[in-house]
A and B are shown apart, each in its own frame.
Chain A
Amino acid sequence: MREYFLRRLLQSVLVLFLVSLVTFALIHSAPGGPVRIYLTPGLSQEAAKVQAHNLGLDQPIPIQYVRWLGDLLQGNFGYTFKNHIPVGKILWPTVGNTLILMGVAWFLSLVIAIPWGIYNSTREYGLSDQSAAVISYLGFAMPTFWFGILLQELFSLKLNWLPLSDMYTMGQARNILNLLPHLVLPVTVLTLGFLAAYVKYSRSSMLEVLFQDYIRTARAKGMPERRVVFRHALRNALIPIITVLGLDLPILVGGAALTESVFNWPGMGRLFVEMAMAREYSVLMAITLLTAVIVILGNLLADILYAVVDPRVQLAGRGGRAA
C-alpha cells in the first residue's frame, strides 16, 4: 500500500515537472517572451538591460528555467505586466471562489448521479433510464455557456427570480444569504454538465458489475436484492467510477472558465480568460500550473480512495498477485 502510494506520488511529481517544462517552453516561444513578464514596464533601454541582467533574463534558458522553478517553489509567481502587481495577490482570492462554485456543483451532481445511475441500472430502458439518456445526450452536445445564457434570460431577465450574474450583490453584506441566490444558476449549468457524464458512468459501471458471477453467488446465498445491489455490487461499481472521476478533473476545472465567464463569477477560470485577453503571461502560467497541481492532487486522492475500496490494489504495488 505504501509503496503503491509512493510510486504514484513520484509519478505525479514527474508529470508536474513536465507540465512546468511545457508551460515554460510555451511562454518562451511567445513574442516578447519572459522579458515582458518580469521587467518593469516603461524603462529606458539601458535600465531594462540592467534589470534584465539583475533578474537573470540574459542567462541561458536552462538556467532561467531552474531559477523560475525555484521562484515558483517559494511562491513567487512573478508580476503582472500592466501594473506590476504580484500575481499571487490577484490569483489566490479567485481560487476560493472557484472552489465554492465547483465544489457545490460537483457534490450535487454526484449525489444525484450515482443513486440515479444505480436505479437505472436495475431498471434498464425504463422511463427514468430513458430520461437519463436524454439528459446525457443533451449534456454532451449542448454548449454549457449557451445553457447559462438561456437560464439568465429566463430566470433573471424575464421572471426576475434570480440575480443575473456576479457572486454577491453589490452594497450588501457578503454572507451566505447573499451568495446562495447567485449560486443557483451557475451551479445548475455545471451540475447538468457533470450529471450527464456521471449518470452514464454510474449506470454502466453498475450494469457491468450486476452481470458478474459474484453477484449471482450473492443471490444464490439468499441475499435480498437490496443487499445484493448496495453491498455486493455498489462497492465494486465504485472502483471504475472513482477512476473516471479522477480522470475527468481537468474537464471539470476547464468548464469553470466558461460558466464563470457567463455569470461573471470572480473565479480562476474567468481570471484566466481575462488575463489571456490582456496577454498577462505570468498569471496564465501560474493558473496553468495551479490547475495542474489541483488535478494531480485530485488524481492522487482518487488513487488512495481506489486502494481503500479495492483490496487488490494493495498488492499491485508489490507486483502481482500472491498465490
Chain B
Amino acid sequence: MSVSLLEIKDLTVGFPAEQGILKAVDRVSLKMEEGKTFCLVGESGSGKSVTSLSIMRLIDYDGGDILSGEIFFHGEDLVQKSQEEMIKLRGYKLAMIFQEPMSALNPVFTVGDQIAEAVMLHQKKGKKEAWQDAIEMLRLVGIPAPEVRARQYPHELSGGMCQRVVIAMALVCKPEVLIADEPTTALDVTVQAQILDLLRQLKAELNMAILLITHDMGVAAEVADQIAVMYAGVIVEEGTVEQVFSHPCHPYTLGLLKSIPGYESERGKDLYAIPGNIPSLAQLPQGCRFHPRCVPAREKCRLEEPVPHDLGSGHVVKCWLSEGAERAEKRSPDLPADMNQGEVNGGKEVRTL
C-alpha cells in the first residue's frame, strides 16, 4: 500500500444546538491515495458534506466545530492549521466542487474572472496570464469557444456548462486532491455521464486524488477505486469497489445496492427502498444507529454500538453480524434468506448501466 496523500483519523464534527452538541460526523477515518478515486456514499443527511467541508476547513463557516481527530495532508494536520494557513492550500492543493453548479458561481462576475481569480491569487500571475490559464482550462473541460464563454456570465450558461466551469475553476491550479460533493446530482442523466467521464479523464491527466461524494451507488460503481459507506455520521462499511459491490456485508450497503435500478436480476419488480428514514442527530438510536431500519437486527444491536471488523485486505464493516466472520467472502449465517437472495453480481453489472 502506497503512502496516503490524505488521511483522516477519527474525525468528529459537531454543531452546537439547543440539545447540546450534535455530532454530524462521528469518529470517521479514511485514507486517500494519489491518483485514486475514493467514493463516500450514503443517503442524504448522513454527514458526507460535513466530512468534506471539514477537510477543507470550510465547516468553520457553517457553524461546525471539529471536536477531535486529525486530517493529515502530506503529513501535516489540517485541523491544527489556522484559516490563514488554510487559505494558501484551498483552491491550490485542495480543491472542492459543489452540488449546485448554477448557484456555485457568482452571478455578478464573468466566468473567466472567477477562474482567473484563483490563478492570480495562488500562482501570483498577472491578469492576462491568468486569463490565458482560465481559457486553457475551459478548453480542457470541454467548453467550446472558451474565449467567448470566458467573457460570459453564469446565467448565460446551461447547468452542465456551469458544472464544467466549476470544475475548471477548481482544477485551474492543478490541485493534488479534488473533493467533489455530489457533482452530478443536479444535472440531467446524459450530462451526468459526461461530467463523470470528464472527471475520470482529468484525474488521469492531472494525476490527482478525487474524493467523490454521492448518494448514488451507481455513480460510485462507475468511478470509484475505494468506497466508504456512511450512515448517520459513521462509516459502516469500507473497502475496494470490488469488495463492497461483490460482497456487501453491512445490511445498509446491501439496501443501497438493492435500490439501484437493475441491480436485482428480476426486472419489473418495484424498486427497493430501505424502510424508514435516516434518524435526526438529536435522536440517534442507541446501539447500532441503523437498527430501527435493519431487517436482521438482533437484541445486541439495540444495546451496543458495533465495532469495526476487518474482513481482510481492508474490507472493514461495522455490524454485529460480521463479528467473527474472518473472510469477506463468508456470509454471516444469520443473514436471512431474503437478504441473500439474488446472486450479488453488482460490480460488473452496474458498470454496464
Spell out A's residues near B (CB within 8 Å).
212-214, 216-225, 232, 235-236, 239, 309-312, 315, 321-323
Q: Is the CB of B105 within 8 A of A217?
A: yes
- Neighbouring A residues of B106 by C-beta, 8 Å: 214, 217-218, 232, 236
Chain B nearest Cβ from A131, distance in angstroms: 23
Give the most central of A218, A225, A310, A315: most B CB within 10 Å. Answer: A218
B56 in contact with A220 (CB, 8 Å): yes
Cα distance, A221 to B173, chains bound together (Å): 10
Distance, CA A218 to CA B98, complexed state (A): 12
Cα separation A281 to B24 with both chains bound (whole Å): 69
Closest chain-A Cβ to B103's Cβ sits at a distance in Å of 4
Option from A213, A221, A315 in Cβ contact (under 8 Å) with B118: A221
With A and B bound together, what is the CA distance between A222 and B109 in angstroms? 17
Say whether B147 faces chain A, with CB atoms less than 8 Å apart: no
How far, in Å, is B156 (CB) from chain A's closest CB? 5
Q: Which residues of A contact B96 (CB under 8 A)?
A: 220
What separation, in Å, do the CA atoms of A177 and B121 have in the docked complex?
49
Contact at A322–B90, with CB atoms within 8 Å?
Answer: no
Is there contact, CB below 8 Å, between B98 and A235? no
A213 touches B91 (CB 8 A): no
Report the Cα distance A323→B102, complex, angstroms.
12
Contact A222/B107 with A217-B169, A312-B155 known, Cβ cut-off 8 Å? no
- The interface-forming segment of B38-46, B81-89, B325-333 is B81-89
Judge if B73 is at the interface, Cβ distance under 8 Å: no
- Residue from A216, A220, A225, A236 in contact with B107 in the complex, judged by beta carbons closer than 8 Å: A236
CB of B89 within 8 A of CB of A222, answer yes
CB distance from A236 to the nearest CB of B (A): 6
B200 at the binding interface (Cβ < 8 Å): no
When C-beta atoms are compared, the residue in chain A nearest to B172 turns out to be: A221
B105–A219 CB distance below 8 A: no
Which residues of chain B are within 8 angstroms of A321 by Cβ–Cβ distance? Answer: 155-156
For A217, list chain B residues within 8 Å (CB). 98, 104-106, 166, 169
B65 at the interface (CB under 8 A from A): no
A216 and B90 in contact, given A236-B108, A311-B155, A322-B156 (Cβ under 8 angstroms) = no
Pair B108/A309 contact, Cβ less than 8 Å: yes
Is B290 close to A, CB under 8 A?
no
Chain A neighbourhood of B100, CB < 8 A: 213
- Chain B residues within 8 Å of A239, by CB: 108
Tell me the minimal C-beta distance from B59 to chain A in angstroms: 11
Contact of A213 among B83, B104, B117 (CB under 8 A): B104
Are A225 and B83 neighbours in the complex by a CB distance under 8 Å? yes
Selected A-B contacts with CB under 8 Å, 13 pairs: A214-B105, A214-B106, A217-B106, A220-B56, A222-B91, A223-B117, A223-B121, A224-B87, A232-B109, A236-B106, A311-B153, A321-B155, A322-B155
Q: Which 9 A-B pairs have the closest CB atoms?
A: A222-B91, A221-B91, A222-B90, A213-B103, A214-B106, A311-B153, A220-B96, A221-B118, A217-B104
B252 at the interface (CB under 8 A from A): no
Shortest beta-carbon distance, B291 to chain A, in Å? 35
Q: Is the CB of A216 within 8 A of B58?
A: yes
List residues of chain A with CB within 8 A of the CB of B118. 221-222
Give A309's nearest chain B residue, CB to CB. Answer: B108
Residues of A within 8 A of B166 (CB): 217
CB distance from A106 to the nearest CB of B (A): 25
B92 at the interface (CB under 8 A from A): yes
Residue from the list A219, A222, A232 in contact with B92, Cβ < 8 A: A222
Say whether B141 faces chain A, with CB atoms less than 8 Å apart.
Answer: no
Choice from A219, A235, A236 contacting B90 with Cβ under 8 Å? A219
> How far does the alpha carbon of A214 sit from the alpha carbon of B87 in the complex, in Å?
16
Task: Judge whether B121 and A220 touch: CB under 8 Å.
Answer: no
Residues of B within 8 A of A221 (CB): 90-91, 117-118, 121, 169-170
In the docked arrangement, what's the CA distance between A114 and B118, Å?
28
Residues of B contacting A212 with CB < 8 Å? 103
Given A222-B88, A222-B90: A214 in contact with B103 (beta carbons within 8 A): yes
| Cβ distance B163 to chain A, nearest Cβ, rounded Å | 12
Interface residues of B in 232-265 (CB under 8 A from A): none
CA distance A218 to B115 in the complex (A): 10
A236–B153 Cα distance when bound, in Å, is: 14
Quick one: given A221-B91, A312-B153, A323-B158, are A216 and B61 in contact (CB under 8 Å)? yes
* Chain A residue contacts of B109, Cβ below 8 A: 232, 235
Complex Cα spacing A321 to B87, Å: 35
For residue B79, CB closer than 8 A to chain A, the reply is: no
The answer to the question of B321 belonging to the interface, with a C-beta cut-off of 8 Å to chain A, is no
B95 within 8 A of A: yes
Q: Are A216 and B98 in contact (CB under 8 A)?
A: yes
- A220 touching B91, Cβ below 8 Å: yes
Contacts of A236 in B (CB 8 A): 106-108
Asked whether any CB of chain A lies closer than 8 Å to the CB of B293, the reply is no
- What is the CA–CA distance of A309 and B87 in the complex, to the nearest angstrom? 28
A220 CA to B170 CA, complexed, in Å:
8
Give the complex CA separation of A315 and B156 in angstroms.
9
| A225 to B90 CA separation, bound complex (whole angstroms) | 13
Residue of B nearest to A220 (CB): B96
B122 within 8 A of A: yes
- Residue numbers in B under 8 Å from A225 (CB-CB): 83
Cβ–Cβ < 8 Å partners of A235 in chain B: 108-109
A322-B103 Cα distance, complex, nearest whole Å: 16
Residue of A nearest to B101 (CB): A213
Chain B residues within an 8 Å CB radius of A218: 106
Query: Which chain B residues border A222 with CB–CB below 8 Å?
Result: 87-92, 118, 121-122
> Which residues of chain B from 169 to 211 have a CB within 8 Å of any chain A CB?
169-170
| B121 x A312 contact (CB < 8 A) | no
- 7 further A-B contacts with Cβ under 8 Å, apart from A232-B106, A310-B107, are A221-B118, A221-B169, A222-B88, A223-B91, A310-B108, A311-B107, A322-B156
> Which residue from chain B places its CB closest to the CB of A209 in the assembled complex?
B106
Bound-complex Cα distance A239 to B106 (A) = 13
